[in-house]
């Protein structure tokens, strides 16, 4: 049976990482992989996580299954983190389950949508995270795109986006990036979120909010503004969240899938379907990452420490954006790169050609995705001069 298989191309980002590792150039720069790095280029464990791990080591007394929903305390704390003091929580219309990372949350959401209506079309932004399309198609959904990023003007094509969303059928779903858009870094303003919320309410399509970077943009509550506004405007929605970035728990694979229904009774019905989906995919979620997150969020001391460490990461990313723009100008680059400072989160499109991206790799050992999407966290004081000089040369 295996003889009929044909090799599939490797993931381009993972392939880029392999080339970077093999490169012997001491000046090499990795701007490809979307993980947070400190000034030393290391993805360190947060201090709040270390303290939570010690607490878990001292108190854990069993490895028994925790059930398809995951830890009730994790689900409760994540719901509060996502929604704050939202009326949907107060009205008991929210149901959350823990998942194997944000990717697991998206796949659970896709299977849940299929259970609601087989063959549903889900609309994603152009561009979007590369794995979105594969995840939704694997669940049997049809994937279409709506305009989002204006490559020529390095800004949001909001008029095109809004016009497209007004044409989406009530039987369809729409994926929206809650904050720190991956890969463009271009987020909606609060006023633009208001307009999207009005369209979502009027057209009655299902909003699916992907929030992988809460806290990496402007702050925990600020980054959830659009999501919470949508939740006030519609009766049903899905949220897929991740703890990989803001807690630095990449390898622990912990995220959450959250459903809002129009009543407590319908939330219970939807939750029963959600649990059936979970049971048929991975049966029970991993426990360790969820235990760390709930310990941090449930402790005043650890939560405050987390807020401080998260702010440090956020400020460093935003600072990297400004310093790169400044260094490009210092190196005589006349092209306006100020758009980089107006973007949010881990990523930005540099806006250079694939040929120039390849030259950066071949001649200067600077690695980024062919679309010129770069991970801002890969910039450091030790490499930004070399990076800016190299970009200036290929321009």
Single out the catalytic residue among 172, 210, 223, 306. 210
Whether residue 245 lies in the annotated active site: yes
pLDDT over 80 at 243, yes or no: yes
Residue 13 has a pLDDT of 81
Delineate the domains of the chain, giving CATH numbers in brackets. Answer: 11-45+302-394 (3.90.1150.10), 65-298 (3.40.640.10)
Q: What is the rounded average pLDDT of the residues 351-377?
A: 96
Lowest mean pLDDT among 16-25, 246-255, 267-276, 326-335: 16-25
Whether residue 210 lies in the annotated active site: yes
Q: What is the rounded average pLDDT of the residues 186-209?
A: 98
Average pLDDT score over the chain: 96
- Mind listing the pLDDT tens digit for each residue in 22-33? 999 999 999 998
Whether residue 129 lies in the annotated active site: yes
pLDDT band for position 173 (cuts 50, 70, 90): very high
Single out the catalytic residue among 37, 245, 327, 344. 245
- Mind listing the pLDDT tens digit for each residue in 128-145? 999 999 999 999 999 999
Hey, what long-range contacts does 116-124 have (CB within 8 A, 24 or more apart)?
Answer: 116/273, 117/171, 120/171, 120/172, 120/173, 121/169, 121/171, 121/172, 121/173, 122/172, 122/173, 122/174, 122/175, 122/208, 123/164, 123/165, 123/168, 123/172, 123/173, 123/174, 123/175, 124/175
- Mind listing the pLDDT tens digit for each residue in 229-239? 999 999 999 99
Single out the catalytic residue among 129, 193, 205, 306. 129
Supply the pTM of this predicted model.
0.95
């Amino acid at each position: 049976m295996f003889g009929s298989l044909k090799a599939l191309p490797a993931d381009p980002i993972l392939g880029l990482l392999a080339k970077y590792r093999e490169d012997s150039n001491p000046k090499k720069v990795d701007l490809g992989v979307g993980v947070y790095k400190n000034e030393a280029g290391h993805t360190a464990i947060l201090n709040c996580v270390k303290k939570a791990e010690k607490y878990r080591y001292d108190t854990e007394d069993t490895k028994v299954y925790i059930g398809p929903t995951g830890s009730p305390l994790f689900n409760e704390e994540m719901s509060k983190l996502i929604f704050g003091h939202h009326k949907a929580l107060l009205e008991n219309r929210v149901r959350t389950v823990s998942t194997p990372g944000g990717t697991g949350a998206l796949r659970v959401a896709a299977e849940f949508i299929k259970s609601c209506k087989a063959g549903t079309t889900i609309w994603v932004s152009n561009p979007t995270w590369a794995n979105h399309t594969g995840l939704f198609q694997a669940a049997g959904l049809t994937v279409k795109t709506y305009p989002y990023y204006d490559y020529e003007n390095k800004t949001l094509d909001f008029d095109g986006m809004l016009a497209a969303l007004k044409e989406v059928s009530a039987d369809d779903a729409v994926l929206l990036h809650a904050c720190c858009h991956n890969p463009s870094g271009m987020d909606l303003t609060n006023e633009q979120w208001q307009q999207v919320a009005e369209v979502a309410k009027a057209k009655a399509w299902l909003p699916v909010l992907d929030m992988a970077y809460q806290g990496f943009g402007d702050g925990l509550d600020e980054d959830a503004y659009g999501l919470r506004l949508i939740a006030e405007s519609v009766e049903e929605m899905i949220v897929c969240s991740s703890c990989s970035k803001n807690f630095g728990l990449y390898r622990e694979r912990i995220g959450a899938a959250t459903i809002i229904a129009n009543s407590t009774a319908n939330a219970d019905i939807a939750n029963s379907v959600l649990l059936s989906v979970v049971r048929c995919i991975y049966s029970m979620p991993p426990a360790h990452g969820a235990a760390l997150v709930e310990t941090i969020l449930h402790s005043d001391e650890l939560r405050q420490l987390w807020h401080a460490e998260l702010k440090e990461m956020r400020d460093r990313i935003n600072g990297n954006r400004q310093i790169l723009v400044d260094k490009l100008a210092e190196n005589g680059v006349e092209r306006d790169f100020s758009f980089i400072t107006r973007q949010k989160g881990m990523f930005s499109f540099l806006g250079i050609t694939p040929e120039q991206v390849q030259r950066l790799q071949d001649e200067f050992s600077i690695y980024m995705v062919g679309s010129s999407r770069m991970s801002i966290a890969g910039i450091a004081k030790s490499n930004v001069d070399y990076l800016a000089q190299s970009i200036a040369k290929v321009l």
